[in-house]
Amino acid sequence: MKPAVVFLWLLAVAGTPAFGQTGGDGTVTLTGVAGTPTPGRLEATSVAPPSRATVQPTPPLPEAPSTPAPWRLRPLEPAPVSSIRGLSVVSDAVVWVSGTGGKAGRSLNGGKNWQWFNIPGCDSCDFRDIEAFSVDKAIVMAIAEPARIYLTTNGGQSWQQVYYNDTKGMFLDGMDFQNEKEGMAVGDAIGGRFTIIRTIDGGQSWQPLPGPEAAEGEAVFAASGTSIRALPGGGYAFSSGGARSRFFRYRGEKWTVTPTPVLQGGNSTGIFSFAFSNDLHGVAVGGDYLQPQQTRLNCVITNTGGATWNIAAQGPGGYRSAVEFISARDVVATGPSGTDFSGNGGLTWVEISGEGYHAVKKAKKGNTVYLAGSKGKMAVLESSHGDKGTSGSR
């Protein structure tokens, strides 16, 4: 999503919502909210009639947890990159990052030392996402006009351009892979439909796929590369924000779309990231990036694979751009104003640190959790009890 582009629309809001739920039939129940847009269900290319919203008494919030987070952040040496939003962790030792200035980086020893690559012809590229598969293979995605994707199979020594699109309005937001061969990327809408491309040959080539319809002023955020995910049970999903914030799931060559009760209605609001611990349980975070301290409606939870969403009892400490499960129940979220931990699957949160980052990822093969953000900041999540283990050792 392009923050510089301003969309105009009206959103009528009454009261301060604390809890909400979206029904599987498209019905949205938001406590303390009236007039929130409630789009219906979309399958393939057809749109169902708008659903209804109901108002219920607002239940009291539970007391904040008093125990401190069991994790702390250990800073790494800053990178020579203005902003890092692409982060992919192959193992505890092998980490790849990407960011502004056409740069990508690789560490083979857990972030102690780095190799930095300037991808030729991309001095002005903003690589907002990266997917790494080994010490040798990685794919980076440059976002906009032209959108580009590059592949390296020799550890960054050379890069092959495998996708190029200079269509007016083209803006890629993120990508993810089910395995080393199959992947999907999502971009903002062109001609009223979200841009979807996919690969079945490990990123060597990319083909367009008909995307679902987008509402006026609805887009996808390119904050951490995690507004699209390959789901544990198969298929893919992506989230949107802006005028509406919805959850789009792709399975069996069909799109299913569900409204969410997260903060929405402005071009800087919506879901910015989501993650799933299994096929059913997921957490989505976001809020308003122009109000990074605001905690209202910034986290929603599903136990139905995205068919229904509930507002967290107590959300993270502000706008959050990335969220990651580090075990079946433990979750970490980060954003410009800080980093938070939930030990109950996203229901309630406590602060880890006031230091914020753009992205957080756990090792695909391992337990180590890395974070990366603005001004080249990078860090590792560690146990606050003094042992060397990260999330997987709990």
Q: Please give the pLDDT value at position 166.
A: 96
Q: Which strand ranges, in their side-by-side order, compose the sheet holding 207-209? A: 172-177, 183-190, 193-199, 207-209
User: Residue 68's pLDDT band (boundaries 50, 70, 90)?
Assistant: confident
- Asked if 97 and 85 touch (Cβ cutoff 8 Å), the reply is no
Tokens for 388? 């060397």
Q: Spell out the domains of the chain, with CATH numbers in brackets.
A: 67-393 (2.130.10.10)
Average of per-residue pLDDT across 216-243: 97
How far is the C-alpha of 161 from the C-alpha of 149, rounded, in Å?
A: 6
Share of the chain above pLDDT 90, in %: 79
For residue 211, what is the DSSP state? P
DSSP string, 47-62: EPPP--EE--PPPPPP
| pLDDT > 90? residue 78 | yes
pLDDT in tens, 172-205: 999 999 999 999 999 999 999 999 999 999 999 9
pLDDT in tens, 279-325: 999 999 999 999 999 999 999 999 999 999 999 999 999 999 999 99
Torsion over CA of 389, 313, 68 and 76, rounded to 10 degrees? 50
User: Residue 67's pLDDT band (boundaries 50, 70, 90)?
Assistant: low
How far is the C-alpha of 162 from the C-alpha of 178, rounded, in Å?
A: 19
In DSSP terms, which residues pair with 339 in a beta bridge?
334, 353
pLDDT in tens, 104-130: 999 999 999 999 999 999 999 999 999
User: Residue 384's pLDDT band (boundaries 50, 70, 90)?
Assistant: confident
How far is the C-alpha of 38 from the C-alpha of 13, rounded, in Å?
A: 13
Q: Please give the pLDDT value at position 1.
A: 56
- Asked if 206 and 164 touch (Cβ cutoff 8 Å), the reply is no
Give the predicted TM-score (pTM) of the model: 0.83
Of the candidates 329, 343, 334, the one whose C-alpha atom is nearest the C-alpha of residue 70 is 343
